[in-house]
Structure 1
Amino acid sequence: MDIFHEQYELVKGSRGVVLNYCAQMSPEHLNNAVPNFGQGTIKATLLHISNTYVSWLSKFAFQQDESFLSSEEISGLDDIKKQFERANNAVSVFLAAFPDPEIRITGLKNDVSLNLTVTELFTHVTTHEFHHKGQIMLMGRILGYTPPDADIIRF
């Protein structure tokens, strides 16, 4: 599991670049919908990313009763950062608790259940974040901000 911890540290570093980028934006730009993006706003997309970690790693994998804030309940980046602390905790607990290679995931929509490996599940949540990170960068560009290099290896 050490490799996953190392990899997640890289993910968090990249996330820090994204959050610093978003800190340069006006509150209106964080909250205004950008057409043709699934979550609508940058704030909602950031919340969706953090909620996905908690959903897959706590709610589905551990069958924990989890509640989630709506975008309207989040006032700004400080609240988003708190949600990412929650995601970080979910990752930490997940990686400490699953030495077994396969996990039964239940509680998905339409009562679908899956058998996933720890690698598949961890890869799912981290690549999900990077997918939406790209959307956030593009949304920011559309709103007039120049995105920084937020890849794992930055120049």
Structure 2
Amino acid sequence: MIDLFLYNWQVREEWFVWCKSLPEEELHAERTGGMGSLFQNLVHMIDCELLWMNYLAKEPVTYEPREMISTLEEIIVYSDFTRDITQRTLSAWSDGIENKSIQITSRNGKVHSFTYEKVISHLITHEIHHIGQLSVWSREIGRKPVSSDLIVRDYE
């Protein structure tokens, strides 16, 4: 489980480096799908990680400057903050906790029950999904995407 978080964080870091080579307008340019831009996709990936970690954590946290994120460097700081929370949350897990359930009330008032294991699986695949969107958009602007090839990565 933690291996796939390490993989996702490594790929995310490489996307940050990749994005640094872009003109600012490309980072914010409106795109089809995803969250609408490279910038917003990156923020969304981190937002979701923190949101779900907060559901699993004993003491949820907020990222106060979240609403003021306007630069890639601010996204990177937010990512580092969230990664720290995720690492602390996952390191505090005990045997059998993956079967524990949480209840989430959706916007329409429906209550959903998810195991911790399902939440973690969702978080991992959610980021991979959005990494794919970044890859498609990079090709659309004529740039080579970050490789997301897990098999050749050393992320442990």
Segments ≥4 residues shifted beyond 4 Å: none
Instruction: For 1:74 and 1:66, locate their aligned partners in 2 and report how far apart those are by CA, in whole Å.
Output: 14
TM-score (norm 2): 0.81
2:16 aligned residue:
19
Q: 1:65 to 1:17 in 2, by over 3 A?
A: closer
Structure 1 residue 51 corresponds to structure 2 residue 54: no
Q: How many residues align?
A: 148
Of all paired residues, the percent bearing the same amino acid is 20
| Alpha-carbon distance, 1:23 to partner | 1.8
Paired amino acid for 1:13: Q
Q: Structure 1 stretches of 5 or more lacking a match? A: none
Q: 1:108 to 1:64 in 2, by over 3 A?
A: farther
Q: Structure 2 stretches of 5 or more lacking a match? A: none
Deviations 1:5-38 (A, max 9, x none): 233222212222222222221111001111x223
Instruction: For 1:11 and 1:20, locate their aligned partners in 2 and report how far apart those are by CA, in whole Å.
Output: 14
Alignment map for 1:132-147 (pairs within 5 Å)? 132-147=130-145
Instruction: For 1:118 and 1:92, locate their aligned partners in 2 and report how far apart those are by CA, in whole Å.
Output: 15
TM-score (norm 1): 0.81
Residues 61 and 105, structure 1, Cα contact 8 Å, conserved in 2: no
| Alpha-carbon distance, 1:84 to partner | 1.0
| Alpha-carbon distance, 1:107 to partner | 4.1
Tell me which moved more, 24-33 or 91-100: 91-100
1:40 aligned residue:
36
Residues 101 and 115, structure 2, Cα contact 8 Å, conserved in 1: yes
